[in-house]
Amino acid sequence: MRRAAPLHRLTPLDGALALAFAAAYVALLLATAGDLGYARDEGFYFYAANRYAAWFQALLEAPRAALAPEVVDGAWSVNHEHPGLIKSLFALSNLVLQKRLGLFAMEGTSYRFPAMVLSGAGVALVYLWGTQARDRAAGACAAALFAMLPRYFYHAHLACFDAPIVTVWALCAYCYWRALRDGGARWAVLTGITFGLALDTKHNSWFLPIVCVAHAVALELRARIAAPAPAITSAPASEAAGPEACAPSPLPGAPDGSAPPAPPRAAGSWLHTRRSVAALAAMATLGPLVFFALWPWIWRDTFPRLREYALFHLNHEYYNMEFLGRNYWTPPMPRAYAPVMTAATVPAVTLCLFVAGLCAAARERLVYPLARAAARIAPASGMSALAALRASAARLRPPADDPGGTALLWFLAIAAVYGAWLSPSTPIFGGTKHWMTAYPFIALFAGAAFSAAVRRARVGLRAFALARRAEADARGQPWRARLGRGARGPLLPALLGASVVAAPVAETLHVHPWALSSYTPLAGGAPGAATLGLNRTFWGYTTGAVVAYLNEHVPPRGTVYIHDTAGPAWDMLLRDGRLRKDIRGVGSVAGADFALYHHEKHMLGQAYQAWVAFGTTSPAHIGGLDGVPVILVYRNPAR
């Protein structure tokens, strides 16, 4: 009988720790939101959320009138290229938490708060999953490394969909994993419901069925391959003496040339198949129902509107993005973009632990089934190398039974997301945010590697303690068992964990609020990335970093050309009180008192226009990271 993979049973302490991770992360996001400007897309979602909020109010006051098709369409047609769930949360948060309860000092934070809460929930989920699949050390390390990804930390602040879909995507994968591991209808139903929530969050959810189907098929294939080979009856000695005994069998394992019997199903394989089919069936049925129920825009003309939604993203227009000194606007896009940008923006310790965890999982889970498959294919009377392979396969110990196919699911979640960027037609304009759904699984592999390192350190420390004790006994000296206790207690993982997460924490906090300009030491930091020609910023959000300068220097009722900052995002800075109410944002540099320039390669013309209009090439103020200019403020000397 195969041994079962060790699974940590969650306790109330784990629930408390998960809640602590979530609460601490949300508190950190709230504490660091004050100097973070509003991104271009946030401005559009503020407007959409306000329209949805008006509809929610109408629904409470006059339900029948609010449900009239023309009223529904009038509200939900706004920004209908994206589903409505997260924008609905923005609307309800502003409507209830801000306008009724007044919980936030800045109104913009009320729109951002749901995404912050979901981001905190994502960190808690990573802790719980890592703890269940491995142990508490793995879960805690994975959660900390995931939370302290500089780019993810930035997106976790925003009233956008990119951080929420990371959490909901991982939650659906987790429910699917629990459905396979634990069985029962509850987790299958939850898989379907969370898939519907993911569908109503962002189109990244389209990858989930691909991952789950591939996972179910791979588990079935692995079960068949790893199943014990059928016994082969040896030929009688009298027959073996004949000349025909020297001829190789036409088919492996079948001395008479007949087809070998099909490999038997591994124990429990049918059970795993039923569980995966139940979860996939729930995704196919409950998922679309939840999606439909939560997005009023598709209540009418459902299929034409779904087609319009799908085509919008399948044929998305291309925006500009700089990569290695070249501006990309139309295909072909660089296939190396996703791996290079991941290596350049994810802290090195996280990447190293991820690679170690992935390699360890491959060694544990792939070697045995591959050896079994090779042994089945290799003829019994073949070359000596193949005979040795068959012998080694017989000696290999099968890996522990893992009904959830944990490492395989984590790997497929990463591979499916990154696989999209192997196509030269995939847009790259969003930077790292488009593959952030892979980051929880990268962190989980990293946490698993950290857990293995802790176990090895405990063994080494225990051996060292025993050696010191033997030396003390030989010298007749007293022995203090502190080293032995240290090998067993929480101090060792705490010290190792602190050494692992220290750099990501320092890096993430250092680059705030310039996270889209941040690069790791592998790329030379922000200065090295600028030299390499990697994008410095986009979305026009760094206006928030220069409001103090504008408040001090813009004359009364002065004008500022806001460049890449969206009008609604600028207006929110005014509503928050971060900008003086009399400062006016304008859409042309001509005649403005000040001009902003957000540095992007394809926008250099905007800087040239400011030079010509103001008669100077020298900015009055520069904001940036580690000496790299990101936003420049030009002042009109004639005003």
- Residue 52 tokens, joined: 């949805």
Out of 63-67, 234-238, 535-539, pick the least confident: 234-238
Is 567 within a domain? yes
Here the tokens at position 563 are: 């460049």
Question: What distances in angstroms separate CA 151 from CA 117, 203, 446, 517, 537, one per listed residue?
Answer: 17, 20, 18, 9, 12
Q: Which residue has the tokens 């997460």?
A: 501
Percentage of the chain beyond pLDDT 70 is 86
Predicted pLDDT at 100: 96
| pLDDT at res. 6 | 59
Strands 326-328 and 584-586: unpaired
Q: How many domains does the chain have?
A: 3
Name residue 447's amino acid: G
Q: Report how far residue 150's alpha carbon sits from residue 507's, in angstroms, rounded to the nearest whole number.
A: 7
Residues in contact with 589: Cβ distance below 8 Å, sequence separation at least 6, in sequence order: 561, 595, 606, 609, 610, 613, 614
Q: Residues 510, 608: one domain?
A: no
pLDDT of 314 over the 80 cut: yes
pLDDT bracket for residue 221 (50, 70, 90) = confident
Q: If pLDDT is split at 50, 70 and 90, which confidence band does 399 have?
A: confident
Per-residue pLDDT at 261: 45
Contact assessment for residue 168 and residue 453, using Cβ atoms and an 8 Å cutoff: no
Q: What pLDDT is recorded for position 197?
A: 99
Q: Which two tokens stand for residue 29?
A: 């996001």
Q: Does 249 reside within a domain?
A: no
Question: Are residues 470 and 409 both part of a single domain?
Answer: no
Answer yes or no: is 332 within a domain.
yes
Say which range, 313-327, 364-378, 507-521, 602-616, has the weakest mean pLDDT. Answer: 364-378
Same domain for 474 and 440: no
For residues 434 and 479, membership in a common domain is answered with: no
Average pLDDT rounded to a whole number, residues 316-332: 91
Do 272 and 157 share a domain, yes or no?
A: yes
- Give the pLDDT of residue 389: 62
Q: Quick check: is 285 in a domain?
A: yes
604 token code pair: 């250099």
Cβ-based neighbours of 420, under 8 Å, separated by 6 or more? 207, 426, 435
* 460, 485: one domain: yes
Q: Which residues pair with 561 in a beta bridge?
A: 586, 595
* Span 276-280, average pLDDT: 97
First to last CA, the chain: 84
398 within 8 A of 226, measured Cβ to Cβ: yes
**Across 365-377, average pLDDT:** 73
* Rounded CA separation 294/197 (Å): 8
Token digits for 87?
């924008």
In angstroms, the CA 172 to CA 146 distance is 18
Give the residue among 386, 385, 367 at the shortest CA–CA distance from 376: 386
Rounded average pLDDT over 497-510: 97
CA angle 435, 438, 442 (to 5 degrees): 135
* Residue range 52-66: mean pLDDT, rounded: 97
- Note the pLDDT tens digit of each residue in 26-58: 999 999 999 999 999 999 999 999 999 999 999
Which letter does DSSP use for residue 596 in this model?
E
Residues 56 and 128 in one domain: yes
Domain assignment present for 256:
no
Distances 577 to 108, 163, 377, 485, 548 between C-alpha atoms, Å: 10, 26, 72, 56, 11
Beta bridge partners of 389: none
* 564/41 Cα distance (integer angstroms): 11
Q: Say whether both 403 and 477 belong to one domain.
A: no
- 175 and 110 in one domain? yes
Of the candidate ranges 14-23, 354-363, 369-378, 524-533, the one whose mean pLDDT is the lowest: 369-378
What pairs with residue 598 in β-bridges?
631
Identify the pLDDT of residue 79.
Answer: 96
- Among residues 427, 444, 461, which one ends one of the domains? 444
Report how far residue 494's alpha carbon sits from residue 137's, in angstroms, rounded to the nearest whole number.
9
Q: Are residues 136 and 59 in the same domain?
A: yes
Residue 458 sits in the same domain as residue 361 = no
Range of the domain at 178: 17-229+266-444
Cα–Cα distance, 388 to 227 (Å, whole number): 20
Tell me what pLDDT residue 402 has.
Answer: 83
Least confident segment among 31-45, 341-355, 453-467: 453-467
Q: pLDDT, tens digit, for every residue of 1-17? A: 455 555 678 999 999 99
Q: Percent of the chain having pLDDT more than 90?
A: 74
pLDDT band at 482 (very low <50, low <70, confident <90, very high): low
Mean pLDDT throughout 181-202? 97
599 pLDDT more than 60: yes
Contact indicator for 83, 200 with CB cutoff of 8 Å:
yes
The answer to whether residues 153 and 508 touch, using CB atoms and an 8 Å cutoff, is yes
Let me know if residue 276 belongs to a domain: yes
Choose among 226, 621, 146: nearest CA to 410.
146
Q: Average pLDDT in the 301-318 region?
A: 94
Among all chains, which residue has been given the structure tokens 């879909």? 165
Distance separating alpha carbons of residues 285 and 295, to the nearest angstrom: 16
Q: Are 319 and 228 in contact (CB under 8 A)?
A: no
Q: What is the pLDDT, as a whole number, of residue 124? A: 99
Is 556 among the domain residues? yes
Higher pLDDT, 477 or 452: 452
157-161 mean pLDDT: 98
Assigned domain for 254 exists: no
- Separation of alpha carbons 137 and 17, rounded Å: 12
Are residues 500 and 410 part of one domain? Answer: no
